[in-house]
Amino acid sequence: MGASGGRSPRIHRLLPVESARSLLCICTLLFLLNTADPTSLLIFVGTDGYDAFDPNGNMTIKWDVMQLTNRGYIAMVNLNNYQLYRHVERPGWRLEWEWPGNEVIWDIRGAEATEQGNCSMFMGQLPHSCLKKPVIVDLLPGTPYNNQVNNCCRGGVLSSMTQDASKSMASFQIDVGSVGINPYQQEWPMPSKFALGLPGYTCGPAVNSTPTKFLSPDKQRTTQALRTWVVTCSYSQFGASMSPGCCVSLSTFYSKTIVECPRCSCGCQDSPSSTKCARQVLYGEEAPVLQMSKDGLDPPPPFVRCTQHMCPIQIHWHVKVSYREYWRVKVTVTNYNLVHNYSEWNLVVNHPNFESLTRVFSFEHDHLHIYGPINDTVMFWGIPFYNDMLLQYGESGNVQTEMLLHKDPGVFTFQAGWAFPRRILFNGEDCVMPPPDMYPKLPNGCSRFPPRKKSLILHFVSFLLFSILIA
């Protein structure tokens, strides 16, 4: 059939069976070559912002124009973390944008610009910031009351919706001047190129939205913003880091096998692109010097204890006890990072038996109801002032809990690795799981073949014997 519209025709050809098999063999060979050596472990992570455990999660910047002034306008800026389990820890968010014209920030409450910039064109009182691309940071707790607004002054820390929704928003008020246009006209220029200053987050353009409405304290009157813009920011683990940040190890009471984290899960020792690590210093050697950030704003680069997996975080899942109607699991989170404490950490675990989770002893937890009646994903986090801070590597550099689960008839089994989690995330990052064929097996489950394959093999052997007998 000829092409239409001046476009060149597309010819669809099917590969012959031999070519398809050859291509499959080549792909298989390439995969084996890449995975035979543990130092070349391939880990595939989604590059987009979609998260199956939080399909609607995002960070939103809302810019509400509240009042016009002789020199511009006053706006209320809100940062909302609409993610179920991914939070923002210290040093916190660093909101930046680019002005469309010659705007300046005359005053700001609840936050501050990191630099004032060149304000030499002004006389008398100088603006708070004259930069074309200002960077705004949150104020610290204890800021004087006259410089605060609601939901400010937490040092840039934002909680997740599940952990503490009341602390998932940050706000500040900004006085914009020198707009260069008539402030009473219908259209106001909006900043562009927004960024949160957080690894892995990408922000889209500002979108004109329905003006935000505000309810008075007595709840009898409603006011609204003059104009509202909304910016949506999404997260990608691949954009945050090229390598994972955690791994999972497994063990059980019914097997002596301890399945360690896969080798080189987060990097390999002595690899140029891997995280730096410290081993035990021998007699006569000098201890390594930690390189801290120069300005004190950015967190120090990861510096971990030398291990075969090279991950800052290791999660160990131990099937501890089996009772008549229940079974017990112990989970330990160990921090191998020598220079970083994890505040308000969280753990997301996917397991088919979590619908019958009976009790968790040392962690707070909540079910993530993502897909209707499916209830197999739980978020865990520390108890405030007890274990909500995961300290750096050392004797106190771990947190642990035990959980009790009910054995559902017809569902529960210790066979085929069913007792182990399907997926684990630490602070919103996917952790590297051991391959399923390495999972600890039951004492009578050492065969290479699963039950279905065993049945097929038995039928095939029976058929061969029958053929020989009747021959």
Average pLDDT by consecutive 10-residue portion of the chain (471 residues)?
43 39 40 39 47 92 93 94 95 96 94 96 92 97 93 96 95 85 66 96 95 91 95 91 92 94 90 75 49 57 87 97 96 94 95 95 93 90 95 93 94 92 96 94 59 50 55 54
Residue 385 backbone zone (phi > 0: left; psi -120 to 50: alpha; other: beta): left
**Of the residues 238, 264, 289, the one at which a domain ends:** 238
Number of domains composing the chain? 2
Q: Three-state DSSP class for 322?
A: strand
Q: Specify if 308 maps to a domain.
A: yes
CATH at 222: 2.60.40.290
Using a 10 angstrom Cβ sphere, with 0-12 exposed, 13-18 middle and 19 or more buried, the burial of residue 108 is buried
346: domain range? Answer: 244-278+301-451
Using a 10 angstrom Cβ sphere, with 0-12 exposed, 13-18 middle and 19 or more buried, the burial of residue 43 is middle
Q: What are phi and psi of 393, to 5 degrees?
A: -55, 135
Q: Specify if 352 maps to a domain.
A: yes
Q: What pTM, to 2 d.p., does this model score?
A: 0.79
Q: Specify if 113 maps to a domain.
A: yes
Longest dimension (CA), the chain: 109
Output the six-digit token pair for 19.
């070519």
Q: Specify if 27 maps to a domain.
A: no
174 shares a domain with 314: no
305 shares a domain with 437: yes
pLDDT tens figures, 28-57? 333 433 443 343 333 444 445 678 899 999
Q: Specify if 188 maps to a domain.
A: yes
Position 237 scores a pLDDT of: 86
Give dist(CA 4, CA 368) in Å, integer: 50
255 shares a domain with 155: no
- Beta bridge pairs of residue 120: none
Q: Specify if 268 maps to a domain.
A: yes
**Of the residues 238, 262, 287, the one at which a domain ends:** 238
**Of the residues 190, 221, 238, the one at which a domain ends:** 238
Q: Three-state DSSP class for 134?
A: coil
Position 70 scores a pLDDT of: 87
Q: Specify if 381 maps to a domain.
A: yes
Identify residue 462 by its one-letter amino acid code: S
Output the six-digit token pair for 93.
């968010």
User: How far from the centroid of its chain's Cα atoms is residue 467's Cα?
Assistant: 58
233 shares a domain with 251: no
Strands (E), 130-245: 135-138, 169-177, 192-195, 201-203, 207-209, 213-215, 222-224, 227-235
Position 272 scores a pLDDT of: 75
Contacts by 63-66 with C-beta closer than 8 Å and gap 24+?
63/190, 63/191, 63/206, 63/228, 63/229, 63/230, 63/231, 64/211, 64/212, 64/225, 64/227, 64/228, 65/188, 65/225, 65/226, 65/227, 65/228, 66/225, 66/226
Q: What is the dihedral of CA 145, 150, 155, 161, to 10 degrees?
A: 160
Query: CA-CA distances (angstroms) from residue 467 to 245, 453, 456, 462, 470?
Result: 56, 21, 16, 9, 5
Q: Which residue has the tokens 């390439």?
A: 30
84 shares a domain with 145: yes
Position 86 scores a pLDDT of: 95
Identify residue 367 by its one-letter amino acid code: H
Give dist(CA 28, CA 398) in Å, integer: 40
Q: Specify if 374 maps to a domain.
A: yes
179 shares a domain with 253: no
Contacts of 422 (CB under 8 A, 6+ apart): 350, 351, 352, 376
Report the Cα–Cα distance between both ends of the chain, in Å, rounded. 57
Contacts of 97 (CB under 8 A, 6+ apart): 133, 134, 191, 192, 193, 194, 195
Among candidates 73, 62, 103, which has minimal Cα distance to 194?
Answer: 62
252 shares a domain with 178: no
Position 255 scores a pLDDT of: 92
201 shares a domain with 272: no
Output the six-digit token pair for 393.
């590597």
Position 452 scores a pLDDT of: 47
Query: CA-CA distances (angstroms) from residue 286 to 278, 279, 282, 283, 293?
Result: 11, 11, 8, 9, 22
Give dist(CA 457, CA 164) in Å, integer: 54
Position 128 scores a pLDDT of: 97
DSSP annotation of 463: H
Position 302 scores a pLDDT of: 75
Give dist(CA 61, CA 93) in Å, integer: 12
213 shares a domain with 70: yes
327 shares a domain with 231: no
222 shares a domain with 248: no
Give dist(CA 57, CA 210) in Å, integer: 21
Tell me the Cα Rg of the chain: 28
458 C-beta neighbours (distance < 10 Å), count: 10
Q: What are phi and psi of 410, to 5 degrees?
A: 80, -5
Is the four-CA dihedral 217, 223, 229, 232 of positive or negative sign?
A: positive
149 shares a domain with 255: no
Give dist(CA 458, CA 465) in Å, integer: 11
Query: CA-CA distances (angstroms) from residue 113 to 129, 147, 216, 341, 345?
Result: 7, 14, 30, 27, 28
